[in-house]
Amino acid sequence: MEIIGERINTSRKHINKAVSEKDTEYIQEQARMQDKAGADYIDVNAGTSVSAEIGDLEWLMDIVQEVTDKSLCIDSANSKAIESALKRNKNGTPIVNSITGEKNRIDSILPLVKEYNTKVVALTMDDSGMPENLEKRVDVAKKLADRLTSEGISLDRVYFDTLIRPISTNPEQVGYVLQAVSIIMKELKGAHTICGLSNVSFGLPKRNHINRSFLSLMIHAGLDAAIIDPTEENMLSTIYATQALIGKDNFCMEYITADREGKY
């Protein structure tokens, strides 16, 4: 299970303040915390200020890479911001987050994925908008897979996001997302699936309970990557426990090792 630490995102009030004030110490501490908690990648997102995004993202790339050797997940819909960030990458193979089936977006970002040989998150939506059912999610995923492989991008570099909605407003979407993950993992051999976990609990109290329960369901469906806050209480233990329960952890060795290393 690959973990992408989500904390450095300017949609968070304190992160937005730190980025606008160029508070290096605060941002670097967020990176260190997530690295120590077990993140495989650190997400960097400066998209809340369109006019400042390129400069802010460059700054985040530089200061985060000073304190961690974990690869970064470059989180933007702006191809110019992504390109500028990729030029500053030092920590191995980054993930570009994200492309969609929308023509303008994929046409502008896909060349960067190819040029810089990155991994990529592919959201299962297109120019017709957000998917409302299972069939649309799977259809878009397969079309994206065809486009990506035709461009020479192997599916093991692709992370399909089947786009969860808040259960407070769209409870029926959970079933579609779970089924879509299962189908993609079975039919698009070698591909990964990923989710922005906290979206599921938006607007609800005690969100940690919803997030962890949903994560267990998604792992059982086949999910192998998640954009989460690895410092959130019991999040890592949920991942290791679920993998042990469904037979993805032989003799529970990963669960036991994580406990010995203090990851819980």
pLDDT tier at 262, thresholds 50, 70, 90: confident
- Tell me which residue of 51, 114, 41 sits closest to 83, measured CA to CA: 114
Is pLDDT at 225 greater than 90 in this prediction? yes
Structural domains of the chain, ranges and CATH numbers in brackets? 2-260 (3.20.20.20)
Mean pLDDT value across the chain:
97
pLDDT tier at 264, thresholds 50, 70, 90: confident
Distance CA 36, CA 179 (A): 33
